[in-house]
Structure 1
Amino acid sequence: MVRSDGSGQLMVSYLVGQELRKELSSPASGNVALRERVFLTENDLRAQYEGEGVKVEQVIFEEKEEQLRVSYTIAFDTITNFLTTKALAKEDISFYPDKNGNLAFQWDIRRLKQLLKESKSGGDFSLKFTLVLPGKIMESNADQIEKNSLFWNFRADKLFPDILTATCEGKGLIFLSQLPQEGKKVKSMSFVYDPTGKADPFKPFILEAKRSKEIMEKSLQPLQRYELSQLKLVGIIWNIDNPRALIEDAAGKGYIVTRGTFIGKNGGRVADILPGEIIVIEESPDIFGEVTKREIKIKLHIGEEEREVK
C-alpha cells in the first residue's frame, strides 16, 4: 500500500519447498544472491529490510506440509527510505512520475527468475506479491486488479512477466516531486543455457500453451469473457420460483442468468437474485491453498456497483 503522502506498506507471502530450503541452507550451494531474496529466517528478513523509516511487521515463518510458509509486511514512511533498504537497493525497482503526471511503478524481476532457474530446485517455490497504490489504476500487467490493489502470483509452471508494471492516477499525490523523474533503465541481460537434463528449448511449448488457452476460451460462456465491471444489470424477474435477471455485455447484447450461472472472468457464480440486485460469489485460492470468497453486488441501476470482500 502506498498512501498519498508517500508512506505505505508492502505485503509479501511465499512458500518454500523442502528441496529449495535445503539448497539455500547449505553454504556450499553458492547461491548467495538467491538467499538474499528468499528469506528462511526472521533474522535474515529483518537484516535485509529494517532501516531508517522502515519497519518489518506481521511476520510469519511456519512449517506446513513440509513447506515453509512465509509472510510479512514492510511499513515505510517514504518510498525513498523503502527503496534504499539493503534488500531493495540491489533491485531494479522504481517509482516515478510518468509524462502525464501519474505515479508509475516498475520492477525488473529477470534476475530473480534467472536465479530460480539456475537453482537445482527453483521450481519448489511460489510467491504472491501485493501492491496497493494511492490512486485509480490506469494500467498494469498484474494477474489480478481489485480497485487500487494489484496482485502478482509466481509459480514455476506459470510464465510471468520480466518486468512488473503499474500506473495509477497521480492527482493529489504530494510526494511525486520528491521521486526520480524517470524509472531505472531496463538493462540487457545475457543468459547461458545449460541443456543438461532439460527439455528441448526449441520445442514449441509456447505454441502449445497458446493452443490450450484458445481451447479453454472457446469453452467459456459468453458472460465469462468479461470483467464484472463491464456488465450491466438491466432487468430482473424476481417474484417467481426461479428468479431471473437480464445482463447486458459491453457490446449491448443481453443474456438471461439464474442462480448458479457462471459470470465474469474470475470464475464467479450468481449466488442470489434479489428485487434490486444480483449477488455474485467469486472464489480464489491463494498460494497457501486457502480460498478467499468475494461477494460482489451488481445493482439494477446502471452505473452503480458495490464490491465487498467477505
Structure 2
Amino acid sequence: MQKLKLLANPGSLLIIVLALASVGYAADPPAATGTIDLKAAGEDTLFRAQNYVYEPAGRRDPFKSLVQKKGEGSGVTDVSTLDVSNMTLTGIIWGPSGRLALINDTQGVGYIIKPGDQVIGGKVFAITDSSVVFEQGDPGSTVKFVVPLTESKSKGSKRK
C-alpha cells in the first residue's frame, strides 16, 4: 500500500521524472575523432581567406580563339601582290567615306582596293563610276592606265 501512496503523491512523481530525465543530459558526448576544436583553433583562423594570384606565364590567352584560319580562305589578302595587267574590275561601291573597287585576279580571287593602294606595276590613282585609274611609272614620267568595269555575264538556264 505504501507503494501506491508514493505514486499517488504528485510531488514525488515529478521528482522521479526529473531525475530520470537529467541523467541523459548530465554527461557530455564524446568528441569524434578527426574533428577540430574551434575554441582551441582560435576565432581568427576560422574565416581567414587564402590569397590567389593568377600566373599567366606559359598558358594560352583564354580570350583568343582556339580555331585559327590559315592559308586559303583566311580572309587576309594583300593587294600589293596584284598585277595591274592581270585584273578585272567587277564592281564599284561608294559611300560617305569614299569609293572602293572590287577586282578579281586571273585565278578568280576577289580583292577590295581603294585610292592610294600599291599594286605590282603601279598604284591606284582614282576610282570613277565605271573604272579604276592606275598610275604607273616614276614621279617625273607617269602613265595613267584605266581598267573599265566589266559587265557580268549571267549564265541563266534557257527555257524551251
Q: TM-score range by the shorter chain?
A: 0.3 to 0.5
TM-score by length of 1: 0.23
Q: Which has the larger radius of gyration?
A: 2
Normalized per residue, the structure richer in strand is 1
